[in-house]
Structure 1
C-alpha cells in the first residue's frame, strides 16, 4: 500500500481550498441582491446601484448612499456614483464591473457590496480614522 507524501497532501489540500474559494467568488458575483445591514436602516437597492445603509458596526458608524460624480470632484470612474462614510469621514469605494467593490484599505479584495467593503475596512482600520483619498495626487 503506498503512502501519500507531504507534497501530494499539500497539493490536494491547496487544490481543494482553491476550488472552494472559486465557488465562493462565483456565488458572490452571481448574486445581485444587496446585503442588508444587521443593525442599520438598509433601503432596497436599485438596478442602477446598491442599497443605501446606515448602521453601527464594531462601534463605528458606517453609511452608504448614492452620490453624484461631481460631489467627489473627479470624473465618474471607479464607482464615483456611490459614497461611503465611516464615522462621518469618506471612504473612497470603487466598483469593478461585476467583480465587486473595493476600497484603498482593502484594494486587492473584492466585495459584493459597498457595505461589505465598509465593514472589512472597519476591521482593517482597528480603530484608526479614515484619511482623505486624493485620486489626483
Structure 2
C-alpha cells in the first residue's frame, strides 16, 4: 500500500504542477506580459517621409527632410547639419536655419537667377 500512496502523491504533484505551469497559468501570464512585450517591439512606420517639393520664386526646390538632401532646379545643394540641430549650406555658411526647407529658400534668395554649380566628384 505504500507504493500506491507514493504513486498517488506523484500524480497529485504532477496535477498540481500541470495546473500551475499548464494552460490556464500560461494564458494568464501571457495576458499579463502582453503589454510589456508589445511596448518592446519596434514601432511600425508608414515608410520614408515624402519629399517636400515646391516652387519658390520660380525655382524648383526638392527637400528630403530625413536625409537633409536639398536640390534646387535638380542640382544638389551641399547641406551640413550643425551640432545644435540647425542647418547651413555652401551658399551661405555664415547663417544657420532650423530646417532644410528654410535653408533651401534662403539659398534661392541668395542665388537670385544664378544656377548652382554641378557637383564634381571629389577624389581624395
TM-score (normalised: structure 2): 0.53
Give RMSD over aligned pairs. 2.8
Alignment partner of 1:131 is 2:117? yes
Structure 2 equivalent of residue 82 of structure 1 = 68
Question: For 1:99 and 1:117, how far apart are their aligned partners in 2?
Answer: 13
- 2:62 equivalent to 1:63: yes
- Counting helix residues as a fraction of each chain, which structure ranks higher? 2
Q: Which has the higher contact order (CA 8 A, sep 6+)?
A: 1
For structure 1, list consecutive stretches of 5 or more residues without a partner in the other structure: 1-45, 68-80
Deviation at 1:98, TM superposition (A): 2.2
Match of 1:18 in 2: none
**Secondary structure, counterpart of 1:94 in structure 2:** strand
Conserved? CA contact 2:88–2:96, under 8 Å: yes
Structure 2 unaligned blocks of 5 or more: 1-44
Question: Who wins on radius of gyration, i.e. which is larger?
Answer: 2
Q: Distance in 2 between matches of 1:135 and 1:98?
A: 29
Contact 2:65 2:100 in 1 (8 A): no
Alignment length (residue pairs): 77
Point out 4+ residue stretches in structure 1 off by more than 2 angstroms. Answer: 132-137
In 2, Cα distance between the equivalents of 1:52 and 1:112?
17
Picking from 97, 109, 114, the partner of 2:95 is 109
The verdict on how the C-alpha distance between 1:51 and 1:105 changes in structure 2, with shifts beyond 3 A counting, is farther
